[in-house]
Amino acid sequence: METTFAMLKPDCIERKLTGKVIDFILEHDFEIQRLKKLHLSTRQAESFYFMHKGKDFYEPLIKFMTSGPVIPMVISRKDAIEKFREVIGKTDPEKAASGTLREMYATDIRHNVVHGADSPENATREIAFFFPKIDLIK
């Protein structure tokens, strides 16, 4: 069993896709270990996306991620990181495989409904950012 980080973005919540996306995640054999809903402050968003500072998409990303609530989650299953990246699809919905969350629900490269950690290191960092001091079920 492997654990990873997922986050439903403001466009997902605004468009009332939360239930559909969570159902889709559960239908792909993921177990939700932790989940909460919150509204990121600018400071929190800047801290979470620090690695993108200075890139042309950084400021619009921060504005988008603070535009409404998000739902961060800790999810698990066998090969969770790799499988979740497959389930959500490529960042650009036009390049996302058929049947992936982003192909089905994303409207563009920024408004792509969901975030998923792309490595064990990032999963650990992202989980700790939103869920400090938790005991994960193994």
User: Is there a domain that residue 17 lies in?
Assistant: yes
Check residue 133 and give its pLDDT: 72
User: Is there a domain that residue 113 lies in?
Assistant: yes
User: Is there a domain that residue 9 lies in?
Assistant: yes
User: Is there a domain that residue 62 lies in?
Assistant: no
pTM of the model: 0.91
Question: What pLDDT, in 10s, does the model give residues 28-56?
Answer: 999 999 999 999 999 999 999 998 999 99
User: Is there a domain that residue 120 lies in?
Assistant: yes
User: Is there a domain that residue 105 lies in?
Assistant: yes
Number of structural domains (the chain) is 1
Q: Active-site residues: which are they?
A: 115
User: Is there a domain that residue 99 lies in?
Assistant: yes
Question: What pLDDT, in 10s, does the model give residues 54-112?
Answer: 999 999 999 999 999 999 999 999 999 999 999 999 999 999 999 999 999 999 998 99
Half-sphere exposure of 65 (CA within 13 A, CB side): 23
Q: What is the CATH number of the domain that holds 125?
A: 3.30.70.141
User: Is there a domain that residue 47 lies in?
Assistant: no
In three-state form (DSSP H/G/I as H, E/B as E, the rest C), the secondary structure along 18-43 is HHHHHHHHHHCCCEEEEECCECCCHH
Q: What domain range includes position 104?
A: 2-35+73-130
